[in-house]
Amino acid sequence: SYTLYTPQGSFRAFAPLIAAEINQIDIAVETEAIETVAKEKSPTGKVPLLETPGGVIFASSAIARYVAGLRSDTGLLGGSFQDRAAVDQWIDWCNAEMEVPACVLFYPVAGYMTVDD
């Protein structure tokens, strides 16, 4: 059984949950008492984190890769070393080049941070 601990509606949970849906893996999503869970279970004190039968995995991309690898027949991680590298490069590129700028633009609009004039 798998449990994903994440704040309600967190975009960081999307990649793991999409991988789970494609791979038809049941993941329970827990959104209550996230701060407490993060302090108790995450080595970084942050979420999202996935509780697995083998232990805890943290960081959205690592969780997504783990879930994608649970079924090799869907090919989410690629079928060769070259394919896996291509998957990894795009995940890393999105994290560095899209996620940060999107947050910088979105957070002030959503009221998560203020803009100094």
Average per-residue pLDDT for the chain: 91
The residue type of 27 is I
Tell me the two tokens of residue 76: 């989410």
| pTM listed for this prediction | 0.84
Tell me the two tokens of residue 15: 């990649």
Tell me the two tokens of residue 100: 């940060």
Tell me the two tokens of residue 113: 């941070």
Task: Measure the CA–CA gap between 44 and 22, rounded to whole angstroms.
Answer: 28
The tens digit of pLDDT for each residue in 4-42 reads 999 988 889 999 999 999 999 999 999 999 999 999 999
What Å distances lie between residue 42 and 2, 49, 68, 112, CA to CA?
15, 7, 21, 23
With cut-offs at 50, 70 and 90, classify the pLDDT of residue 50.
very high
Task: Measure the CA–CA gap between 77 and 64, rounded to whole angstroms.
Answer: 10
For residues 49-66, average pLDDT: 95
What Å distances lie between residue 59 and 14, 52, 74, 80, 99, CA to CA?
12, 14, 22, 24, 14
Tell me the two tokens of residue 84: 């896996």
Rg of the chain (C-alpha set): 16
With cut-offs at 50, 70 and 90, classify the pLDDT of residue 98.
confident
pLDDT at 46 over 80: yes
Question: Omega of the bond prior to 48 within 30 degrees of 0, cis?
Answer: yes
